[in-house]
Structure 1
Amino acid sequence: MPWVEQSWGHDLLAHRHRLLGYWSFWLMMAHVVLFAVSRAGDDRGEGPLRALYRLFVGASWMLLTSLGTFMIIVVVVTSIRVVRKRIRYESWHLIHLYAYLGMALAFPHQIFDGTHFHDLWTQAFWWAMLLIALITTLIYRVYYPLRRSLRHRLHVAEVRRETPGVSSIVMEGRDLDRLRAKSGQFFIWRFLGGPGWTRGHLYTISAAPHPEKLRITIQAIGDGSGRATMIKPGTRVMIEGPYGTLTEDVRRHPRMVVIAAGVGITPFTGILADARYEPGEVTVIYRVSGIHNAIHLEELEELAQRRGIALHLLIGSRRAPGSWFPDGTPSGRTDTRALTLLAPGIAGSDVFVCGPRKWNDLVRDSLKAAGVSKHDIHLEDYSW
């Protein structure tokens, strides 16, 4: 629901979703195991295995429930970070949808066999809880995306290569200002051409929103993103959103520092273009492996010159000697000292960070050591 997402933010919601999901799973498994132990202990002389077969297969509605439980187990196992890294996003997304089917298959035994749901009012309560969740899903994941996609008629206008492996997709539509999208927010995109169009992908808009245009910048690191960079102009686009709280609205100070790595600069190009600040109040620290990998560099340099931004382009590995200083001053591992020199007054600034998860963690630790309050660090992991 947009008002929930915009109040808490995608990262916090994703964390809580993961936490509640695992807790719900382990409580469900405790229910299954304890119930199995109880029934196996009361085997009526038929043996524990036969008793378990009668419970999970022969009992009323239990075969469907067992199938649903198996589906949910598969969803949870494939969501473990170690496992998820080894499977394609498209495969994970398809498997994840089976959670809906698993819950639907398990539902009848809750109503008809559950000892706590024999009374009419308890059944009405449980039905209402499930229906509210279903209706909310249909409204915000089906109805609104369809309505917005039909109203705004987004289509691909241009696909252009930015750097090796990175491309921008410019989409045109009508009345896009009615989306009320803000720089730094993201949409879930579905390109209606070729295989995999049903699977949505999260991409942040990489330019300030325009009444007739939206732009995203994609690094081809998977099947879905690789196909997206080869989309043909004219392809229709479905959208879901906008989502995200990494916008200018979270700022608490006049000064702003942007720290990005690689494709992590893309959420900030729009913010730098339309945010409110005076010359000298913004510092950008952009880490890239090589000058040829700097995304939207000409755009950043033009903004720096026009709006008085201090732009520091850091070339090479984060841990390479001197890599934190444009003039090659040896720095070793003194990231905190480098941050305070590159961005004077950083302790009293809003700091926006976007990069790979491990890089973000290291930068966050350096920022805290430099005296930046945790409430002033606005971090986004581009790998989610």
Structure 2
Amino acid sequence: MTATLRSPVLRRPRAARPWWRDACGLVTWFSLLFVVALWVSGGGVRTLATDPLTSLGRVTGLVSADLLLLQVLLMARIPLAERSYGQDELARRHRLIGFGSMTLMLAHIGLISLGYAVTDHSGLLAEVWDLVTTYPGMLLATAGTLALLLVAVTSVRAARRKLRYESWHLLHLYAYVGAGLALPHQLWTGADFTASPVATVFWWTAYALAAGSVLVWRVALPLVRTLRHRLVVEHVAREAPGVVSVYLRGHALDRLPVAPGQFFVWRFLTVPGCTRGHPFSLSAAPDGTRLRITAKDLGDGSARLARLKPGTRVLFEGPYGRLGSVRSSRKMTLIAASVGITPLRALAEALPYHPGEAVLLYRASTPADLLFRHELEHLATHRGIRVHYLIGPRAPRSWLPDQYRGTSDAHLLRHWIPDIAEHDVFVCGPASWTGTVVASATSAGVPATHIHTETFAW
């Protein structure tokens, strides 16, 4: 069954103002400089000569705590950050800051333990035991450190490859537990956190902002929207082997601020694992009466979609993503691989363009893997988008089929789309494939600011 192409209800996400991105970056650097200033004002530089291990342990602890809170803020779904950076870049920065925070936290633990052992003339293991068992809040901080270490280890690329998304997502929630368990230790035994009224106000404000952002944007807003729109499964349709579309209906969907190209985190309430969220993009432009998502059987969550029954209630978070709000040119090129067609098909339906101004390059291993072929041909006939199907095994070091081996990807892009340098280029597919597409588009003359991606990475 295919979707009926209706006039979409466009509630395009408000584009980020040019200065928002710079403002977010300045706030980040200011917070880091401020915590270092707190360390300096607390005698950190002065004590480097007499007790360097403890002094360095203090500053690494301060910076680690600040980075931990920034990490929480990055993934709190704050609209300003979402519109400024987009989910792919936020996830990259979240990962980078997370590993930096964990590295500094381990350095803090090691340096403080060594510094105290030298001062007390005791063994390192004995000093660690004394710190954990006698200092206020240290048992909680130890549990929090272990929770954060678990998150860091399972976020390493090699570990992520061995985990199902559902398992990784559940483990990742322990980051909030770790951040919360660290707070008592910092307030009870961290002199730099309470040494002055300025320090106390700064840290309480920072923790309140992080906790408040999570509660507002990750908990309260999704609950309000779920209760208001009362989404349920209308029916499930098979699109291709291992691929299904789920049609959803609800109340007042014309008032849901969703745009084509966006995604939601979904929880279907009558199947096992319903507490785990699954991110799926809309595969059709919202029309004010129903929504459609499409997923391939890549994990437990997507496999269960085929077993959903009509009337199943749905919890959702979102919408997220900004693909529909970053356009800078009327001309556009959409490049998709396999099920990556889902958000781009919605963009092709809803975004404005004249016949000949939009091109879709759709990569698939076999003709059976092509999704929405009839819908895409309808768009080609009625909207004037040019569609090229690129079918066959992938060539080495290329995003194109093997039949194009020997010709550079950038040359082929310019051949198919001579004016591609004037286009916005939207790319959706696996992370490594998407990176190859971006490199060839850049080589073909497309400015980096005109290339917009959404990947399957997590």
What TM bracket, shorter-length normalisation?
over 0.9
Q: CA deviation at 1:160?
A: 0.7
Q: CA deviation at 1:40?
A: 2.1
The 1-side partners of 2:328 and 2:206 are apart by 39
**Residue 227 in structure 1 maps to residue 301 in structure 2:** no
The 2-side partners of 1:181 and 1:148 are apart by 12
Cα shift readout 1:112-144 (whole Å, capped 9, x = no counterpart)? 111123457233432232122112211111111
Aligned to 2:34: none
* Structure 1 segments (4+ residues) deviating >6 Å: none
Cα pair distance change 1:47/1:341, threshold 3 Å: closer
Q: Secondary structure at the match of 1:229?
A: helix
The 1-side partners of 2:86 and 2:227 are apart by 27
Q: CA deviation at 1:258?
A: 1.0
* Pick aligned residue for 1:298 from 374, 381, 397: 374
- Residue 374 of structure 2 aligns with an amino acid whose one-letter code is E
Cα pair distance change 1:329/1:198, threshold 3 Å: closer
* Pick aligned residue for 1:68 from 144, 147, 161: 144
* Pick aligned residue for 2:115 from 31, 34, 38: 38
The 2-side partners of 1:201 and 1:30 are apart by 35
Aligned to 2:385: 309
**Aligned partners of 2:395 and 2:403 also within 8 Å:** no
**Aligned partners of 2:230 and 2:250 also within 8 Å:** yes
**Residue 345 in structure 1 maps to residue 422 in structure 2:** no
**Residue 201 in structure 1 maps to residue 278 in structure 2:** yes
The 1-side partners of 2:87 and 2:80 are apart by 11
Aligned to 2:408: 334
What are the within-5 Å matches in structure 2 for residues 145-164 of structure 1?
A: 145-164=222-241
What are the within-5 Å matches in structure 2 for residues 266-281 of structure 1?
A: 266-281=342-357
Structure number with higher relative contact order (C-alpha < 8 Å, ≥ 6 residues apart): 2
* Pick aligned residue for 1:53 from 124, 129, 138: 129
Q: Secondary structure at the match of 2:316?
A: strand
**Residue 88 in structure 1 maps to residue 88 in structure 2:** no
Q: CA deviation at 1:194?
A: 2.0
Cα pair distance change 1:16/1:2, threshold 3 Å: same
Cα pair distance change 1:263/1:383, threshold 3 Å: farther
Q: CA deviation at 1:324?
A: 5.6
Q: Which moved more, 1:215-224 or 1:101-110?
A: 101-110
Unaligned runs of 5+ in 2: 1-77
What are the within-5 Å matches in structure 2 for residues 17-32 of structure 1?
A: 17-32=94-109
Cα shift readout 1:206-265 (whole Å, capped 9, x = no counterpart)? 101121100000011011111123211111111111111111x32222221111110111
* Pick aligned residue for 1:105 from 167, 172, 181: 181
Q: Secondary structure at the match of 1:252?
A: coil
What are the within-5 Å matches in structure 2 for residues 159-198 of structure 1?
A: 159-198=236-275
Unaligned runs of 5+ in 1: none
Aligned to 2:62: none
**Aligned partners of 1:154 and 1:238 also within 8 Å:** yes
* Pick aligned residue for 2:87 from 10, 13, 16: 10
**Aligned partners of 1:39 and 1:55 also within 8 Å:** no
* Pick aligned residue for 1:367 from 438, 441, 458: 441
Q: CA deviation at 1:103?
A: 1.9
Aligned to 1:123: 200
- Residue 107 of structure 1 aligns with an amino acid whose one-letter code is L
TM-score w.r.t. length of structure 2: 0.79
**Aligned partners of 2:260 and 2:284 also within 8 Å:** yes
The 2-side partners of 1:10 and 1:163 are apart by 28
Q: Secondary structure at the match of 2:275?
A: coil
Q: Secondary structure at the match of 1:174?
A: coil
Q: Which moved more, 1:169-178 or 1:17-26?
A: 17-26
**Aligned partners of 2:166 and 2:277 also within 8 Å:** no
The 1-side partners of 2:119 and 2:450 are apart by 59
- Residue 35 of structure 1 aligns with an amino acid whose one-letter code is I
RMSD between aligned residues: 2.0
The 2-side partners of 1:306 and 1:331 are apart by 34
What is the count of residue pairs matched by the alignment? 379
- Residue 375 of structure 2 aligns with an amino acid whose one-letter code is E
**Aligned partners of 2:135 and 2:189 also within 8 Å:** no
Give the fraction of aligned pairs with identical amino acids, expressed as a percent. Answer: 46
Q: Secondary structure at the match of 1:195?
A: coil
**Residue 142 in structure 1 maps to residue 216 in structure 2:** no
- Residue 292 of structure 2 aligns with an amino acid whose one-letter code is R
